[in-house]
Structure 1
Amino acid sequence: MPKLKREGEADNRSATDFIESLDRGLRVLELFGGGQQPMTLSDLAKAADLPRATARRILFTLERAGFVASDGKLFRLTPRVLVLASAYLASNHVVSVLQPALDRLSSDAQEISSMAILDGNDVVFIARASPTRVFSSGIDIGYRLPAFCTSVGRVLLSRLSDDELAAALQAMDIAPLTPFTVTDKKRLLQAIKSDRAQDYSLVDREAEPGFRSISVPVRRYDGTIVAAINMGAHVDRVSASEMIERFLPPLREAAASVKSLLV
């Protein structure tokens, strides 16, 4: 299991403003998001790069606070952690404005639609809509994927300048998720530039085998890209050309419908 470490960032705040114990506790909470739970104390200590005694104290504190439960050997999250997520979603202006547009888009197209934002080198899906006839599965709220191999990620990365984009790609740890994943950084740079020029991105089987998706940027009133919305389908059901013909126009319409409402 890979170790989870924070990247240090220089700012103007004093080192005394940093609460190391809180940072360590948040790191331990994040580890449960990797689909590994339940986890043992040893697993968590190793993954968080913490002494076993420190990890034990953190887990005991999280257990006392109701965020973690244990049977004496294995630790797992409790539903109380949803309080943190719901607070973010309730306070996020983009989600509140765009959710009705996503619902209309999904209902009209009879397909699942999602919205994502950029978080470091990953995209995080923070809103979703599904028509009642479609079985709701797969990508859900809170799901994370690498930005470089997803259509929403490439749309969000396209907001960077050429120099910023090249530097961001150079710093990324890029590994293939499928046999079709593009990992050459020069090819990725050109692909994202092309997506920027055409104002949409279509990614074919690079993030998940047998799945392709198309995304458009969501801009606020001043043109700044603040999110991306997408629709996807299995390759056997919808061709790439059909995605452009059928999905792209309503995606663009949904994004345009909220532009003046986003501040």
Structure 2
Amino acid sequence: MPRLNAGDATRREAAGHGPDFLEALARGLAVLQAFGPERRQMTLAEAARAVDLPRATVRRALHTLVTLGHLESDGRLFRLTPRVLRLAAGYLGANGLSSILQPRCEQLSAQFGAPCSAAVLDGPEIVFIAYGQPARLLNLTTMVGLRLPAFCTALGRVLLAGLPEAEMEALLQRHPPHAVTAQTELDPLRIRRRIARARSEGFALVDQEAEQGFRSLAVPLRRHDGRVVAALNIGMHSERGTAAALREAVLPTLRAQAADLACQFL
């Protein structure tokens, strides 16, 4: 079995990955994840810059991903294929949360005439795993899989509040806040106070910090042992009423739903 050179071994030890960490797999996944809305297609050079890896390494990763069917290429540009959806489908089908929460989101969306979403935490971001919206707003896109910053979203704040304090603090320190709208709170102390308030009150209400003209209210979804596994959210355009009105109209129902769902989470 080939041995790591001294430089690779030192970097791996510093990162805490351990001797069984597959560097080639990690690099291939990094290349795959570099594609998205802002990089729908890339050349070899663009992909190498995106992941900050040598061109030779990225060339091998791209070739492998094309061979496996996750990417396609015209000889110059590379783009994702529908096969990558198998990865998402595997998660959505295996975790159980999505199948439980999707009908609830659709039900609540119809009840309030507003979008309803459920999300989990993935590092500094939230990821939508279920989503419902009123029939009048339906379009051809899906919000499942959408990622948003956790620090400035209602879903994110209740999920961050569910972490152990040390873990939450380390995550916030590694990922400084950035402006998403003109109303996004950027002061680290105030962000931590709002997360602490979400923890003590059992909900978070965010007013136009993540999307201009849009307010949202979220509650944590807990297992029977109290561990937070996801969050549930209703969002409304600001012209539909004040933040206080949103809280009065939505919070009791979301809390009731959270209590009802607790027994279904393993």
TM-score (norm 1): 0.90
1:190-221: CA deviations, max 9, x gaps?
11111111111011111122221110100111
The answer to whether residue 151 in structure 2 is matched with residue 145 in structure 1 is no
1:9-88 superposed matches below 5 A: 9-10=15-16, 14-15=18-19, 17-88=20-91
Moved more, 248-257 or 84-93: 248-257
Paired amino acid for 2:45: S
- Output the CA distance in 1 between the equivalents of 2:172 and 2:25: 31
Shift of 1:136: 4.3
- Output the CA distance in 2 between the equivalents of 1:241 and 1:48: 44
The answer to whether residue 181 in structure 2 is matched with residue 178 in structure 1 is yes
1:44-97: CA deviations, max 9, x gaps?
101111111221121111111111111222111001100110010000122222
**SS of corresponding position for 1:189:** helix
**SS of corresponding position for 2:34:** helix
1:204–1:137 Cα change, 3 Å:
farther
Paired amino acid for 1:100: P
- Output the CA distance in 2 between the equivalents of 1:138 and 1:157: 28
- Output the CA distance in 2 between the equivalents of 1:83 and 1:96: 16
**SS of corresponding position for 1:182:** coil
Q: CA RMSD in A?
A: 2.1
1:218–1:99 Cα change, 3 Å:
same
1:95-174 superposed matches below 5 A: 95-136=98-139, 140-174=143-177
Paired amino acid for 1:189: R
Residue 256 of structure 1 aligns with which residue?
259
**Runs of 4+ residues deviating >3 angstroms:** 136-139, 161-168
Shift of 1:120: 0.7
**SS of corresponding position for 2:240:** coil
Shift of 1:164: 4.2
User: Does structure 1 retain, via aligned residues, the 8 Å contact 2:123–2:171?
Assistant: no
1:218 to 217, 221, 235: 221
Paired amino acid for 2:109: S
User: Does structure 1 retain, via aligned residues, the 8 Å contact 2:109–2:116?
Assistant: yes
Paired amino acid for 1:126: I
* Residue ranges of structure 2 left out of the alignment (5+ in a row): 1-11
Residue 92 of structure 1 aligns with which residue?
95
Residue 240 of structure 1 aligns with which residue?
243
Q: Percent identity?
A: 46
1:90-142: CA deviations, max 9, x gaps?
00122222222222212222221111111111111111112323334887111
1:206–1:118 Cα change, 3 Å:
same
User: Does structure 2 retain, via aligned residues, the 8 Å contact 1:170–1:185?
Assistant: no
Residue 3 of structure 1 aligns with which residue?
none
The count of corresponding residues between Structure 1 and Structure 2 is 255
The answer to whether residue 208 in structure 2 is matched with residue 205 in structure 1 is yes
**SS of corresponding position for 1:89:** helix
Higher relative contact order (CA 8 A, sep 6+): 1
Shift of 1:260: 0.8
1:189–1:139 Cα change, 3 Å:
farther
- Output the CA distance in 1 between the equivalents of 2:238 and 2:143: 20
Paired amino acid for 1:109: F
